Chains A and B, each alone.
Chain A
Amino acid sequence: MPHRQQGVGTFTGIMAEIASRLNFTHRRLLRFAPYRFLVSLGHSHRFLIGVPYLWLTLFFLIPFLIILRISFTEAEIASPPFSNLLAWIDDGLLQITVNFQNYMELWEDGIYIHAYLNSVKIAFFATLLTLIIGYPIALAMSRASKKWQLFLLMLVILPFWTSFLIRIYAWITILSPTGVLNNFINWVGMGIGLIDPNSPVTLQILHTDLAVYIGIVYGYLPFMILPLFATLIKIDDTLVEAALDLGSPPLKTFWTITFRLSLPGVLAGCFLVFIPAIGEFVIPDLLGGSNVTMIGKVLYDTYLQGMNLPLVSAISVILLLIVLIPIYIFNRIQAKQFN
């Protein structure tokens, strides 16, 4: 077999070289018991499963149990800054002090309820907007030629690779009262004589709900386009053709065939936008300012104050419960489709 000495060939050659050297050292090292033990670990199923399993249990699963526990305690000036849930009393009695105060506070203080509802509302309508804006783009991409598709896909993904924070920050420049958008409107307006140069228009978009909607739609648009594109591209064109041939009007054809068949993509896209949008805190903080309350921002501000960590835990626990509902529904629908 001829050995290619360039590109992939060189690469395979280097790998082979490394492999043979490693193999040599490996054989010599096998004489030592600790090394033999390590090697056996590498081959053992338990190790391969166990290490990532242990990691995720420690740093993903248990933290949720810990915040659940903290949410039932009381804030204290101590380290850690909350009371003990469990305490051993001298006689061997285990005393459990469950404190529902934090949850009561969430319920009674209107700020939190309002923030939860507002987050769900904003996330819902922002998702709808993202769908309405993203669908035509995904549809157009799916109709482009193969060569273009790859290029367009790259173009849609590229902004996703640039920092989320910077992309959101860019909108401050556009939306502020003296920003690019207002300048542009005035420039065009004065050009066609609609706006009096002495009283330029100043739209206050920054620090309103509208700015937050724009931010979410902008930030999460690729998450909507990609799954939509993936399902739209798989739709059999002959179905659409057949409907058109049989006299179905284009709009009806789109609605009853294309859209219907793309529903899995619609669902996936909406899910991917809605879930992170509920907990969003960068967008409402930078673009919404103090005028827009979303629960992520409330949670972060409460955490920053550092005084009442049990309350922070309670906010997180309820937010988690709210987020679990769409995750559960999505899983159910997916399972049904799979069967």
Chain B
Amino acid sequence: MKKQMTALNWAALILGLLFLYIPIILVIFYSFNESKLVTVWSGFSTKWYSDLFQQDGIWSATKTSLLLAFSTSTFAVILGTMAAFALVKFRRFKGKTLFSGITYAPMVMPEIIMGSALGLTFVALKFSTGFFTMMIAHITFTMCYVVVVVQSRLTGFDRHIEEAAMDLGADGIRTFFYITLPMILPAIISGWLLSFTLSLDDLVIATFTTGPGGTTLPIWIYSKARLGVSPNINALSTIMIGIVASIVFLVTLINHYLSKRREEDEKNAHREIA
């Protein structure tokens, strides 16, 4: 029997999605509002967008955020992939329980605990806080997401293919570049993107580990948002939502294309065998 959607199911779905999307839609809507009063609609205008770009510190905050997210995700991918390999390849090693424990723990630890622990550590060790301390903190909390993504890909693929390549005379480096890397590359890319967005979005851990000159975009937005609603934050939010939505759309499109290609390749392969 096919599962049936009842009227109640439909209602739950529609109300749920409305709840999720109304706030986002309102932000976009009011970013084009002429009035300074956020909730009074007085006509279409894009003046808050030009106003936004004249704000102090927004460019340097954006630059800091992008640079931080870029370097964080790159290092997190390297460390995370190593950890995932270690967890999948080596069944047993000394301290594996502790190792897997501390790889997953940052995911469930409330940000404020991790942030304060790391922030106080940097103070205790007399590290001068700033960009690099933020980067260390971000790598630590994003690498576990990379581990999860890469690990699931590694356990999913048939390791006999690697062995076959080795048997046919490929050395370690060749096997890695011809077989292993292309197979886990989608996981590495999504791990990278995940760390990038997590780092770009983080406010709590950044505020605890930042120092002079280390203002990220969330920190900048937060300092403005604390003072109440201002239309140029709506404009900034709309730009960010637009960028994220188009990236997600693009990634989905690429994934769709790749999986279609793979299906076709498999079909062709079957035909050739037959």
Query: A residues bordering B, Cβ < 8 Å?
Result: 4, 7-8, 11-12, 15-16, 18-19, 22-23, 26, 43, 45, 48-49, 51-53, 55-57, 59-64, 66-67, 69-70, 79-82, 133-134, 136-137, 139-144, 152, 154-156, 158-159, 161-167, 169-174, 176, 178-180, 183, 218, 221, 225, 237, 241, 271, 275-276, 278-282, 285-286, 296, 299-300, 303, 309, 312-313, 316, 319-320, 323, 327
Contacts and interface: CB of A to CB of B under 8 A. Distances in A.
A285 B123 contact: no
A303 B113 contact: no
Interface string B63-104: 000000000000000011011011001100101000100110
B110 A296 contact: yes
Contacts of A139: 9, 12
Contacts of A170: 23-24, 26-27, 237
Interface string B1-43: 1011100111011001101111110110010000001110000
A66 B124 contact: yes
B168 interface: no
A281 B203 CA distance: 10
B99 A53 contact: yes
18 contacts: A4-B265, A8-B261, A18-B177, A19-B178, A49-B90, A52-B80, A67-B117, A164-B203, A165-B225, A173-B30, A178-B39, A218-B20, A218-B23, A237-B3, A303-B119, A316-B112, A316-B117, A316-B120
Contacts of A280: 110, 112
Interface of B: 1, 3-5, 8-10, 12-13, 16-17, 19-24, 26-27, 30, 37-39, 79-80, 82-83, 85-86, 89-90, 93, 95, 99, 102-103, 105-106, 108-114, 116-121, 123-126, 136-137, 139-140, 143, 171-174, 177-178, 181-182, 197, 200-201, 203-204, 207-208, 218, 221-222, 225-226, 228-229, 233-234, 237, 240-241, 244-245, 248, 252, 257-258, 261-262, 265
A43 B248 CA distance: 36
B49 to A, nearest CB: 16
Main SS class of interface, A? helix
B177 A323 contact: no
B231 to A, nearest CB: 10
Chain A CB within 10 Å, residue with most, of B117, B172, B240 = B117
A166 B237 contact: yes
A61 B30 CA distance: 45
A174 B26 contact: yes
A239 B28 CA distance: 46
Chain B CB within 10 Å, residue with most, of A142, A161, A171 = A161
B242 to A, nearest CB: 10
Contact of A165 (B181, B201, B234): B201
A242 to B, nearest CB: 11
Given A275-B108, A323-B110, 15 more contacts: A8-B265, A48-B82, A49-B86, A136-B8, A143-B4, A144-B13, A163-B221, A166-B240, A171-B23, A172-B225, A218-B20, A225-B16, A309-B123, A312-B116, A319-B110
Contacts of B225: 165, 169, 172, 286
A221 B20 contact: yes
Main SS class of interface, B? helix
B24 A162 contact: yes
Given A140-B12, A237-B3, A56 B103 contact: yes
Contacts of B1: 237, 241
Contacts of B221: 163, 165-166, 169
Contacts of B248: 158, 161
Contacts of B17: 137, 155-156
Contacts of B106: 60
A4 B264 CA distance: 11
Contacts of B102: 56-57, 60-61
A286 B204 CA distance: 13
Nearest to A81: B123
A291 B9 CA distance: 37
B120 A313 contact: yes
A282 B204 contact: yes
B13 A141 contact: yes
Contacts of A164: 201, 203
A8 B185 CA distance: 12
Contacts of B124: 66, 69-70, 80, 82
Nearest to A61: B102
A281 B86 contact: no
A31 B99 CA distance: 35
